[in-house]
Amino acid sequence: MGSQPVQFSIPTVDLSTYLRDPEAEQANEIVSAIRDACITSGFFQITGHGISTELQDAVFKSAEVVFKLPVEEKIKLQSATDGRGYEVIGAQTLEVGMKADLNESYYVGPEVAVKESYRNFQYPNVWPSTDLISESEFKEPVLEYREQMCALANILMRCLAKGLGLDQHFFDGFCKDPIANVRLLHYPPQPNLDDPKQLGAGAHTDFGAITLLMQDDMGGLQVRKQDTAEWIDVKPNRDAYVVNIGDMMQKWTKGEYNSNVHRVINRSGKERYSVPFFFDGNLDYVLRPLDGSEDVEYTVEEFMKERFQKAYGTK
Ligand SMILES: O=C(O)CCC(=O)C(=O)O
Ligand SMILES: [Fe+2]
């Protein structure tokens, strides 16, 4: 027991027992399966998460509706600030040396009061005119979804804390009033399946604490198995969230939890939709090394600014 090295895996874990009673004996098995995933692949899938199919369908529908708008309407939904509203196809090239990523996306954060100036990462949302898309078709389901995903992320952070041998409430302060954004993503089919330089999303790691991804049935997400340099397909499962560890959590845990490289190639011949939810914690939270070592402390805001600067030279 415990002496076998943990194998690379992307397990599917049913969270329902944990949700019913986090103190139950079986809940410990869930915590332990999630820990094994976090220390190897950095990826796992969860079913039994409690988010309704109706709400998920409504969010996928919102994505379809917004991306079907004419290009001249979509570009009006771009924001002057990063991380909100529409982003055109090819706006990002996540992997150096590759063609621009073949996706378009739309970012939604929490609603904020109108002000003269905004703090980093706390910018106002951009909404399509209600002449184009009604609030009940877009704004309402996406905001409701964001709320529910925050609650689910909070629960997962408790599992992650337990998996590190910490009190389950250890991350509660980090989770309060978090920077947490929904990204609606649309990947057109690859025009040329033999072009190795064209990816839907180039190889990258996520920046924040954890990402919870809802994906359709098309497939295309791949995770890097570092020891063999293989790309492992993440099996699409409409009922599951793909959860992965981000760079902030990797650094915070001194590498115990793994922020792994992943990419997307839409080989399905059809449109692919996915909806990552990036959970990055409270901007003012001070990240202290979990092993109690005397490293410098830094806030979530400082970490995220530095990470964005490294990737895009902005902020
Ligand atoms: O669309 C996907 O499956 C993954 C998207 C992703 O990795 C990201 O947006 O960071
Ligand atoms: Fe990602």
The residue whose C-alpha atom lies closest to atom 10 belonging to ligand 1 is 206
**Ligand with the closest atom to the CA of 276:** 1
Which residues are registered as beta bridge partners of 36? none
Q: How far is the CA of 280 from the centre of ligand 1 (A)?
A: 15
Q: What is the pLDDT of residue 313?
A: 66
Average pLDDT across the chain, whole number = 95
Mean pLDDT in residue range 234-260: 96
pLDDT at 244 over 50: yes
Extents of the domains making up the chain: 12-281
Q: Is ipTM beyond 0.90?
A: yes
Q: Answer yes or no: is the C-beta of 263 below 6 A from any ligand 1 atom.
A: no
Number of residues in the chain: 315
Q: Where are the alpha helices (DSSP H) in the chain?
A: 16-20, 25-39, 53-67, 71-74, 139-163, 172-175, 247-252, 300-312
Contact between 156 and 162 under an 8 Å Cβ cutoff? The reply is no
The residue whose C-alpha atom lies closest to atom 6 belonging to ligand 1 is 276
C-alpha to C-alpha distance for 112 and 106, rounded to whole angstroms: 17
State the closest ligand 1 atom to the C-alpha of 262, by its place in the atom list counted from 1.
Answer: 7
Q: Please tell me the least confidently modeled range out of 22-26, 60-64, 67-71.
A: 22-26
For domain 12-281, the CATH architecture is: Sandwich (2.60)
Mean pLDDT in residue range 159-181: 97
pLDDT in tens, 97-123: 999 999 999 999 999 999 999 999 999
The residue whose C-alpha atom lies closest to atom 3 belonging to ligand 1 is 221
- Residue 201: pLDDT band (50, 70, 90) is very high
Among residues 150, 134, 141, which one has the least CA distance to residue 184?
141
- Residue 315: pLDDT band (50, 70, 90) is very low
- Residue 309: pLDDT band (50, 70, 90) is confident
pLDDT at 196 over 50: yes
Mean pLDDT in residue range 144-161: 98
**Ligand with the closest atom to the CA of 204:** 2
